A and B are shown apart, each in its own frame.
Chain A
Amino acid sequence: MGFGLLAPALTIMVLMLLLPVMALVMLSFWSQSGFDIDRSFTLENYWKLIEPSDEPTVWFGIPFYLKYPIPVILMIKSLVMSLVATIAVIGLAYPMAYFVAFRVRGNKAFWIILLTIPFWTSYLLRVFSWKIVLGFNGAINSGLMYLGLIDAPLEFLLYNPTAVIITLAHSWVAFAVLPIYVSLEKIDRSLLEAAADLGDSRWQRFWRITLPLSAPGTIAASLLVFIPTVGDYVTPTLVGGPGGTMIGSLVQLLFLRQDNAPLGSAVSIAMMLVIAVLVALLLWAIGYRKMRARRS
Chain B
Amino acid sequence: MSDGSAFISLSAIEKRFGSLTVLKDITFDIGKGEFFSLLGASGCGKTTLLRILSGIEQPSAGTLLIDGQSMAGVPANKRPTNMVFQSYAIFPHLNVEENIGYGLRNVRIAKDEARQRVQEALELVKLNGLGTRNAHQLSGGQRQRVALARALVCRPKVLLLDEPLSALDKKLREEMQLELRALQRTVGITFVFVTHDQEEALTLSDRIAVMANGRVLQLDTPQGLYERPRSREVAEFIGTMNLLPGAVSQSDQSETMLDAGLVGTLGGRPIEVILDKGARAYLAVRPEQISLSATEPSDPARYSVAGEVAEAAYLGDRIHYQVRLTGLEKPMTVFVNNTERAVVRPLGSNVWLSWDRSVGLVLPG
Contact = CB atoms under 8 A, between A and B. Distances in A.
B89 A194 contact: yes
B127 interface: no
B121 to A, nearest CB: 13
A195 B75 CA distance: 12
A62 B85 CA distance: 58
Contacts of B82: 197-198
Q: Which 4 pairs of residues, A with B, have the shortest CB-CB distance?
A: A199-B106, A198-B103, A194-B89, A190-B89
A296 interface: yes
Given A194-B89, A198-B150, A294-B135, 4 more contacts: A191-B91, A195-B91, A199-B103, A200-B106
A204 interface: yes
A295 B136 CA distance: 8
Given A194-B83, A197-B54, A200-B106, A209 B91 contact: yes
B56 A193 contact: yes
Interface string B87-114: 1010111000000001100110000000
B154 interface: yes
Interface of A: 188, 190-191, 193-201, 204, 208-209, 212-213, 291, 293-296
Given A294-B136, A296-B136, A196 B102 contact: no
Interface string B255-297: 0000000000000000000000000000000000000000000
A240 to B, nearest CB: 40
A193 to B, nearest CB: 5
Contacts of A196: 55-56, 75-77
20 contacts: A190-B85, A190-B87, A191-B91, A194-B150, A196-B75, A197-B55, A197-B56, A197-B81, A198-B151, A199-B107, A200-B106, A201-B77, A208-B102, A213-B92, A213-B93, A291-B93, A293-B136, A294-B93, A294-B134, A295-B92
Nearest to A295: B92
Nearest to A191: B89
B89 A188 contact: yes
Interface residues of B, number: 27
Contacts of A200: 77, 106
Given A190-B87, A213-B92, A195 B134 contact: no
Given A204-B106, A294-B134, A294-B135, A197 B92 contact: no
Given A198-B82, A198-B150, A213-B93, A193 B135 contact: no
A246 B319 CA distance: 87
Nearest to A190: B89
A212 B93 contact: yes
B92 A198 contact: no
Counting chain B CB atoms within 10 Å of each CB, which of A193, A194, A196 scores highest?
A194
Interface in B340-361: none
A199 B80 CA distance: 9
A201 B103 CA distance: 11
A195 B151 CA distance: 11
Nearest to A201: B77
Nearest to A189: B89
Contacts of B83: 193-194, 197
Contacts of B55: 196-197
Given A190-B85, A196-B77, A201-B77, A294 B92 contact: yes
Contacts of A291: 93
A196 B85 CA distance: 12
A188 B143 CA distance: 16
Contacts of A188: 87, 89
A174 to B, nearest CB: 28
Contacts of B87: 188, 190
A8 to B, nearest CB: 34
B166 to A, nearest CB: 14
Interface in B59-94: 75-78, 81-83, 85-87, 89, 91-93
Contacts of A191: 89, 91-92
A198 B93 contact: no
Contact of B102 (A195, A293, A294): A195
A198 B106 contact: yes
A193 B103 CA distance: 13
A76 B75 CA distance: 50
Interface string B39-56: 000000000000000111
B164 to A, nearest CB: 13
A120 B85 CA distance: 45
A191 B89 CA distance: 5
Nearest to B150: A198
Counting chain B CB atoms within 10 Å of each CB, which of A195, A204, A296 scores highest?
A195
A34 B76 CA distance: 77
Contacts of A295: 92-93
B91 A193 contact: no
Contact of B85 (A194, A199, A209, A293): A194
A193 B136 contact: no
Nearest to A291: B93
A164 to B, nearest CB: 36
Contacts of B93: 212-213, 291, 294-295
